[in-house]
Amino acid sequence: MNTKKTISYSIIVVVMATMAQAQLPAPWEFYPFPGAVGTSGTTAMHMNSASFVGWADGYTALRYGTSVAGTWMTPTKALNQATGDAYDIVCLGRGGEITLTFSTPISNEDGYDFAVFENACSDIFLELAWVEVSSDGTNFCRFPNYYGGTGTVGAFGGHSPTDIYGLASKYRQGYGTPFDLEELQTAYNSIQNSTASFLSSVYADSTTDNFPLLDLNNIGYVRLIDIVGDGSAKDATGRTIYDPYPTVGSAGFDLDAIGVINQRQTPDLLPQVISFETIPNQKLVTGLIDLGALSDSGLPVVFTVSEGLAALTGTTLSFTNSGTIVITASQSGDETYAPAANVVRSFVVTEQIQHIYLAPIPNMTENMEHQLYAVSSAGLPVVVEVTAGDAIVDASHLITIGNAGFGGASDKIVTLRAYQKGDASTAPAEDVSFSIRVVPTTSPHIPQTFAQWCSTQSITNSASADNDNDGFNNFEEFMAGTDPELPLDKPQRSIMMQTNSQSERTLAMEFRIRRRALATLTFRYCGNLGATWSDIVPYLQNVTYTEEAETEYTNLKIELPAQNTRGFYRMRFNE
């Protein structure tokens, strides 16, 4: 391939002054292609760009490839706005494919018309897919695509965005690769005019057959097909496309979202938006649930079962089998309102459901170790991994903070993810994430033992003592960050009975603990004070972080099972 470089990348087509049809330029005419996020000439679009007016709201024709674990098989995670979260994706697997749908079709207007988002963790670890569009969901036309790389890419290797054009996705997570529908028109014209001899006969023949069946102002389907990186895939010119290979567990393209820049207009009709809350996983014995969704237009929302063994009677959904159920909420509009974007929700029905408790983690310093406490309510083993920052978590959940980049006066953040994939009779648990603040050893926020705290408070090192007689022992005050010798300054807890999403009675608690306190919080229960205490697994309903009077807090809202009419709960702080 001729590697002559242009001064900058600014044109896709060349328009002749005589108003002749635009012609598709050969790839070497604008190689190298646009570079990574932040480089001159990049086409990357941030997920929060005001250019996006809509997002894919449905999917169909999903076929998983090989080497993809079940934890990555949640296609509804690819719907609606991109999140930039590496775990909020659907993984296609090696050679897999998916078609995303749009209740308001994409339209061919000036500039780019839509963008595809993947979850690449860096500017070079890029897993690729072909991008095709359709107006009828049957006949698809592929975008011109070029690959300039010349060597294989290992499982954890990388390639440059400047070698990639017309493929999704050449940018790191949070940034989309844009596509212009007009380029399909240009490619078709150039093939018909015999001015694109650089294209392979395979690509030219496919475009010739499928483009006439497109309506560029009514694109309701975008298909992504994972490119297997072993050298068997070819670009539009017939050159080999390489890709990280072989990867396992989450092999292939990881789709975050598709954002719409230009939509088909519906003149004089008002927009409407559907609100449809997520549906938690359900126990099989529950049998049925009531669905609730509202449109801000006030028009009635219609539910359909898009996938799974379930039946709808009005807004009541019934199920008698285990499996995944996908529900679509839609509103077709009327003479005043345009159709609303569909909202799709999915959940799993199994014999039992589970949740994870990851105990709050204190501030840490570089090279420090801390034993994490992570358990599942189903008793299944929990995996904890580092998603950001310099740290390692081993199989026993011992975390060790590194020292690279943690020097100096600046704090750093390490982020953890705890997950449990479930089994044949147990639904996957909702992921739990926690952020750890890593502080310099000179910081006033360094982690603190109970003995160290007692020294600063000038009190006796006795956990069970209650110096101010306020009903809370000194260790409780240590954890809460209150004054152990001021009765009016004591730990605050809100406790109330409520019913959870499974129609089960729970005890809800809200409280906060000091982030410097070097201890682990667990919970126990017994039916009466003469019985044996047993560990219970709280459900973490909400976790936030605040700072008051130079003291940092982790604020927690939890739920504890309360099926019995009588019982006792114990908060345990283990140093």
pLDDT reported for residue 381: 96
Q: Where are the CATH 2.60.40.10 domain residues in the chain? A: 274-350
Q: Where are the CATH 2.60.120.260 domain residues in the chain? A: 27-260
* Lowest mean pLDDT across 13-27, 64-78, 184-198: 13-27
What is the share, in percent, of the chain residues with pLDDT greater than 70? 95
pLDDT reported for residue 408: 56
| Confidence tier at 123 by pLDDT (50, 70, 90) | very high
Q: At what angle do helices 182-192 and 201-210 cross, to 10 degrees?
A: 110
Helix (H) or strand (E) holding 171: none
Q: Who has greater pLDDT, 472 or 271?
A: 472
C-alpha separations of 165 from 55, 144, 237, 484 in Å: 22, 8, 12, 64
Rounded average pLDDT over 432-442:
89
In contact, 53 and 45? CB cutoff 8 Å: no
Q: What is the mean pLDDT of the chain?
A: 90
| Confidence tier at 69 by pLDDT (50, 70, 90) | confident
Query: Does the pLDDT at position 320 exceed 80?
Result: yes
Cβ burial, residue 459 (10 Å; 0-12/13-18/19+): middle
What is the share, in percent, of the chain residues with pLDDT greater than 90? 71
Give dist(CA 367, CA 24) in Å, integer. Answer: 56
User: Phi, psi at residue 85, to the nearest 5°?
Assistant: -95, 125
Task: Record the pTM.
Answer: 0.70
Query: Does the pLDDT at position 106 exceed 70?
Result: yes
| Confidence tier at 149 by pLDDT (50, 70, 90) | very high
Q: What are residue 572's DSSP bridge partners?
A: 522
| Confidence tier at 564 by pLDDT (50, 70, 90) | low
Query: Does the pLDDT at position 547 exceed 90?
Result: no
Rounded average pLDDT over 145-166:
92
Rounded average pLDDT over 208-218:
95
Query: Does the pLDDT at position 5 exceed 60?
Result: no
pLDDT reported for residue 269: 87
| Confidence tier at 407 by pLDDT (50, 70, 90) | low
| Confidence tier at 20 by pLDDT (50, 70, 90) | low
Query: Does the pLDDT at position 32 exceed 90?
Result: yes
User: Residue 474 has what DSSP assignment?
Assistant: H
Query: Does the pLDDT at position 293 exceed 90?
Result: yes
* CATH code of domain 274-350: 2.60.40.10
pLDDT reported for residue 15: 33
For 11, how many CA atoms within 13 A lie in the half-sphere containing its CB? Answer: 14
Q: Which residues contact 17 (CB under 8 A, 6 or more apart)?
A: none
Query: Does the pLDDT at position 11 exceed 90?
Result: no
For 349, how many CA atoms within 13 A lie in the half-sphere containing its CB? Answer: 20
Query: Does the pLDDT at position 449 exceed 60?
Result: yes
Tokens of 363: 């501030």
pLDDT reported for residue 429: 92
| Confidence tier at 12 by pLDDT (50, 70, 90) | very low
Rounded average pLDDT over 248-261:
92
Domain 27-260 has CATH 2.60.120.260: yes
* Lowest mean pLDDT across 72-76, 217-221, 448-452: 72-76
Torsion-angle region of 238 (φ positive above 0: left; ψ -120 to 50: alpha; else: beta): left
Q: Per residue in 172-195, pLDDT tens?
A: 999 999 999 999 999 999 999 999
Q: Which of 218-227, 241-250, 492-501 has the highest mean pLDDT?
A: 218-227
Q: Give the number of other CB atoms < 10 A from CB of residue 431.
A: 16
pLDDT reported for residue 4: 36
DSSP string, 285-306: GG-EEE--EEETT-PPPEEEEE
User: What's the Rg (C-alpha) of the chain?
Assistant: 28
Give dist(CA 77, CA 255) in Å, integer. Answer: 8
| Confidence tier at 215 by pLDDT (50, 70, 90) | very high
Rounded average pLDDT over 11-33:
66
Query: Does the pLDDT at position 317 exceed 90?
Result: yes
